[in-house]
Amino acid sequence: MSTCNCKTWLKGIVLAAVVLAIIGGMIGYDRGFREFDQPDWVTATPEMRFKYGSIGAEADSGIPYWIFYVLPRVFPEKFVQDGKVAPGGYAALGVSWEMGQELPIGFTKKTIGFPRVANNCAVCHTTSYRVSAESNPVFVVGGSGHTTNVQAFFRLLIDCAKDPRFNADILMAEIARVTHLDWIDQLLYRFLIIPMTKQRLLEREAQFAWLYRPDFPDWGRGRDDGMNLTKYFMIKAPMDDTFGPADMPAIWNLQKYEPSRGSLPNYAGDTHDVHSVVIDSALGVLGAPPKDNAAFLGQVKWLQDYLSALQPPKYPFPLNQARVAAGKPLFEAHCAACHASEKTGTRLPLAEVGTDRNRLDTWNKGAAIEANRVVRQFGIERKGLVEEDLVGYKTPYLDGLWLRAPYLHNGSVPTLRDLLEPAAKRPKLFWRGYDVYDPVKVGFVTDGDEAPHVGTKMDVASKGGGNQGHEFGTGLSAGEKEALVEYLKTL
């Protein structure tokens, strides 16, 4: 009798435990992992999708939305611009921010259990420009993210995580000021989400060690040491002494590449085709192997199709047509052999152009073999990175040239007019990442009153920042240079 009673009790307890575990599991799944589509407006147009659409980075690289939201409130002193606390929080990083949007361009919000914020391609590949200091910015998708300071962003997140104030008490108190979380979310944030986010960010510090090296200059706005990122993140190579931050390139009109004749993407033609570079870029943004290769490759295909067809915008200021006509034959005589020929898009031995070599030294055959192996291990087929040592930079296509300042792979020459001067006469110190346009010299304003407050300093004597080489056209007369520059505006 008594045994029988015990058994009934035991059964009851086991049953209750199972039910609780199931409910707990359902809540855990619902609040921790259940994936929701982004709202319809995000995918309403291809441009919106490029700017705000998730490419799948939220799962592994996402920052919980409410943590992202309160960081500028908890750590205002880390959001600095021009030595002062910036009132606009993340705007201090030079990100492009459209009126009425809750997040900057290139930042995605998606709920996987809880809302998370991550990035997509647009954070580095959208140009912001203004026709004058009094105008509103124009945002051009697929252009160079010349204002974005990605190094400052990487460092900022780590610096916040390292700060003792990054703890549940302080963050929860700040979150409670801006939103109401129900008790389940409160428990999740306090005991799981905040501690895990802190730990994930701290883990990044070791991989990001070279971002803190005192012997390297800051990348500053619009530059990214991209091949080293790939080396230290994708293939986990030990840190070496190379450093080659390159300008964020424009990625419109990708149909121009013709691999069959050696016209290849990336500054040194490091990769076999557009498909491979889109895959590798997306893997970089995800920061981890894709959860679902078919869905991932679907995103890649969409990006590749969109960017292949996307065209650069036309020059928005008046053109002097007589000068354009006078400039065209000068271009044909002095530039077209490289920039409008079978050579365009192909690699040129460094000695023939003589620009800064640091970017080339950040990558090599061994790294390419290793990176290709890693991607194959993910079960992704692609032609991949070129398994050869780099000989020099590729001769770039000049489409949409007017909006691609500053010039050369390392952005060491502020304007087209400056590029037509011998290296010794080009600006030695200027400010990058200010978005007011200069239609006379053709590029962005890089000095004067405002640029030094908004932009970051570029010293051409710094490692990786050399402005030497490419002295083509520098011997033309002042009038001829004016005409050539006018023609270049039309490309």
Residue in 419, 415, 417 with CA at minimum distance from that of residue 437: 415
CB of 398 to ligand HEC, least distance (A): 6
Residue 156 in contact with ligand HEC, rule: CB under 6 A: no
Residue 62 in contact with ligand HEC, rule: CB under 6 A: no
Residue 404 in contact with ligand HEC, rule: CB under 6 A: yes
CB closer to ligand HEC out of 113 and 269: 269
CA angle 155, 158, 163 (to 5 degrees): 120
One of 50, 53, 55, 297 touching ligand HEC (CB under 6 A): 55
CB of 164 to ligand HEC, least distance (A): 29
Which span (185-193, 233-241, 375-383, 404-412) binds ligand HEC, by CB under 6 A?
404-412
CB of 24 to ligand HEC, least distance (A): 37
Binding mask 446-485 for ligand HEC (x = CB under 6 A): ------------------------x-xx------------
One of 226, 327, 464, 465 touching ligand HEC (CB under 6 A): 226
Alpha-carbon span 256 to 266, nearest angstrom: 13
One of 127, 276, 281, 415 touching ligand HEC (CB under 6 A): 281
Query: If binding means CB under 6 A, how many residues of this protein chain bind ligand HEC?
Result: 50
CB closer to ligand HEC out of 169 and 241: 241
Alpha-carbon span 478 to 129, nearest angstrom: 27
CB closer to ligand HEC out of 161 and 248: 248
CA angle 150, 156, 157 (to 5 degrees): 100
C-alpha distances in angstroms, 308 versus 77, 212, 251?
A: 41, 36, 8
Alpha-carbon span 53 to 18, nearest angstrom: 39
CB closer to ligand HEC out of 321 and 341: 341
Residue 165 buriedness (CB in 10 A; 0-12 / 13-18 / 19+): exposed
Residue 31 in contact with ligand HEC, rule: CB under 6 A: no
* Beta carbons of 174 and 76 less than 8 angstroms apart: no
Biggest CA-to-CA distance, the chain: 111
Alpha-carbon span 92 to 80, nearest angstrom: 6
Residue in 395, 397, 394, 436 with CA at minimum distance from that of residue 415: 436
Enumerate residues 371-390 that contact ligand HEC by CB under 6 A: none
CB of 397 to ligand HEC, least distance (A): 7
Residue 285 in contact with ligand HEC, rule: CB under 6 A: yes
* Beta carbons of 427 and 436 less than 8 angstroms apart: no
Enumerate residues 111-150 that contact ligand HEC by CB under 6 A: 119-121, 123-125, 150
Alpha-carbon span 483 to 262, nearest angstrom: 32
One of 67, 408, 454, 458 touching ligand HEC (CB under 6 A): 408
Alpha-carbon span 341 to 335, nearest angstrom: 10
- For residue 355 the two structure tokens come to 């620009």
Residue 393 in contact with ligand HEC, rule: CB under 6 A: yes
* Beta carbons of 276 and 451 less than 8 angstroms apart: no
Alpha-carbon span 90 to 337, nearest angstrom: 44
Residue 248 in contact with ligand HEC, rule: CB under 6 A: yes
CB of 303 to ligand HEC, least distance (A): 5
Site for ligand HEC, rule CB under 6 A? 55, 119-121, 123-125, 150, 224, 226-227, 246, 248-249, 251, 254, 265-267, 274, 277-278, 281-282, 285, 303, 334-335, 337-339, 348, 352-353, 355, 359, 393, 395-396, 401, 404, 407-409, 416, 419, 470, 472-473, 488
